[in-house]
Structure formats: C-alpha cells, structure tokens
C-alpha cells in the first residue's frame, strides 16, 4: 500500500529532540521524542556508539536503540550495527552503517534489516553526482576548508547526500532528500519504529547545517 505526503524530519528546536511526522496519522503519533540513554556507553574511537530511546509525546516508551557493533577503520570496512528493540526487549530490526572503504571505490551504505518485512539498502549519493563531485566539488570544498580555517569563510560544498532505500526487487520505500533535509516514506511496508530509529541514527552522523556539526546525539 502506498502512502502519500508522509515525511519525517528531525526537529532541532525542541527538548528532548524529536522526529516529527507530517502526513496521515499512524500509531506512533505526529512526533517521537529521542532520549539518550543515561547509561549509554563511553565514546568509542570513531564516536559511533549510540544508545537512545524512542518515546511517544506522552512519554510512553516505543523502542530502544543500542549498539551491537561499533564502526571499524576505513581499512577494515567493518560496519556499525545498531539493534532496535521494543519496550520488552524483543528485536524490531537491525540498522547497519557501512562506510566506503579506504582506497576503494564505493559509497556509504545504510541497510535496514527488519524482523518482518523487506530488507532495505540505501547508498549515499547518486553515482552521477559523485562522478562530478570528485573532480569539481572536492577541490572547491578543500578551498572552502582552508579559507574557513583562516577565518575568511564559514561554509563549503557538501558531498552528495541523497539516499534512496530499496528492497531486493529495486522498489523504493524511503528517500532522504538532502536539499529539503527530510525523509519521504513511500510505502507502508516498514515498521514506523524502524523509520524513526533510522532517521535518528542517520541525522546523528549526517546532521543538517542547522543542527550543529556534531549532530543531535552529541548535543548537551
């Protein structure tokens, strides 16, 4: 079943942080609060450990995200793996972040493995835009970086960021629209708890410009 005009966006202006949903109502409500786990683990070397809760607006627990495996180095290619659990501790699914390996072609990949439902794979950026970014965007971005260190500028050109999550048949289920900084849900086949967890995880690694350089998870 296809859903129309359903979008998710991280709302930086509320506390605790929330993923806000725009579209027909669902069982989780219009907003899901993100509450860092008070017993979250210390930062690992690559700052990839995550532990937080998803709460309804009235405070009802919806799910919990914990780190099963932290990121490895660019050379190892070891992905970060996050478990999404329901309030009783039963698994809802797993979310995997695999970065491009050093000295090898490829793109960062986000994978969603639900307990029930299709497995989804999403690659950061389209190949066409990456083909333009490496010879054109990267040198310009490096110039912006140097001038910003000298205090003469405060911005730059970001690499391609759009992601489309597809199942094994190639059907698109979820899209991260980098310009709009939101997530467009295209089907109802994905558990909304997994969608909210994915939005929160993605935006903790790739925050919008208005959310600060370290993302919502590192914010005080």
Nearby residues of 7 by Cβ (< 8 Å), 6 or more positions away: 21, 22, 23, 182, 183, 184, 185
Instruction: Annotate the chain with three-state secondary structure.
Output: CEEEEEEEEEECCCCCCEEEEECCCCCCCCEEEEEECCCCCCCCCCCCCCCEEEEECCCCEEEEEEEEECCCCCCCCCCEEEEEECCCCCEEEEEEEECCCCCCCCCCEEEEEECCCCCEEEEECCHHHHHHHHHHHHHHHHHHHHHHHCCCCCCCCCCCCCEEEECCCCCEEEEEECCCCEEEEEECCCCHHHHHHHHHHHHHHCCCHHHCCCHHHHCC
Other residues' Cβ atoms within 10 Å of the Cβ of residue 174: 25
Nearby residues of 47 by Cβ (< 8 Å), 6 or more positions away: 218
Residue 148's pLDDT is 45
Other residues' Cβ atoms within 10 Å of the Cβ of residue 217: 20
The low-confidence residues of the chain, meaning pLDDT below 50, are 1-2, 130, 133-134, 137, 140, 144-154
Residue 144's pLDDT is 46
- What's the token pair of residue 203? 């935006």
Residue 24's pLDDT is 86
pLDDT tens digits, one per residue of 66-102 = 999 999 998 888 999 999 999 999 999 999 999 987 7
Residue 205's pLDDT is 92
Spatial distance between the Cα atoms of 74 and 58, rounded to a whole number of angstroms: 41
Task: Compute CA distances 96 → 121, 133, 201, whole Å.
Answer: 9, 25, 10
Spatial distance between the Cα atoms of 41 and 36, rounded to a whole number of angstroms: 11
Residue 182's pLDDT is 94
């Amino acid at each position: 079943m296809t859903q129309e005009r359903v979008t998710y966006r991280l709302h930086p202006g509320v506390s605790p942080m929330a993923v806000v949903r725009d579209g027909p109502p669902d069982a989780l409500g219009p907003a899901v609060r993100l509450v860092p786990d008070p017993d979250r683990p210390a930062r690992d070397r690559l700052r990839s450990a995550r532990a937080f809760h998803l709460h309804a607006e009235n405070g009802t627990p919806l799910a919990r995200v914990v780190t099963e495996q932290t990121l490895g180095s660019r050379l190892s290619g070891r992905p970060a793996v996050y478990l999404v659990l329901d309030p009783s501790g039963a698994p809802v699914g797993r979310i995997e972040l695999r970065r491009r390996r050093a000295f090898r072609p490829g793109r960062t990949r986000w994978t969603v493995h639900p307990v029930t439902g299709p497995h989804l794979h999403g690659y950061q950026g389209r190949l066409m835009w990456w083909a333009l970014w490496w010879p054109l965007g990267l040198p310009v971005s490096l110039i912006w970086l140097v001038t910003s260190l000298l205090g003469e500028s405060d911005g730059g050109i970001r690499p391609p960021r759009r992601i489309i999550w597809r199942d094994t048949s190639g059907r698109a289920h979820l899209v991260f629209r980098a310009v709009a900084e939101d997530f467009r849900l295209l089907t109802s086949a994905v558990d909304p708890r997994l969608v909210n967890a994915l939005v929160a995880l993605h935006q903790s690694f790739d925050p919008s410009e208005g959310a600060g350089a370290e993302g919502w998870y590192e914010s005080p």
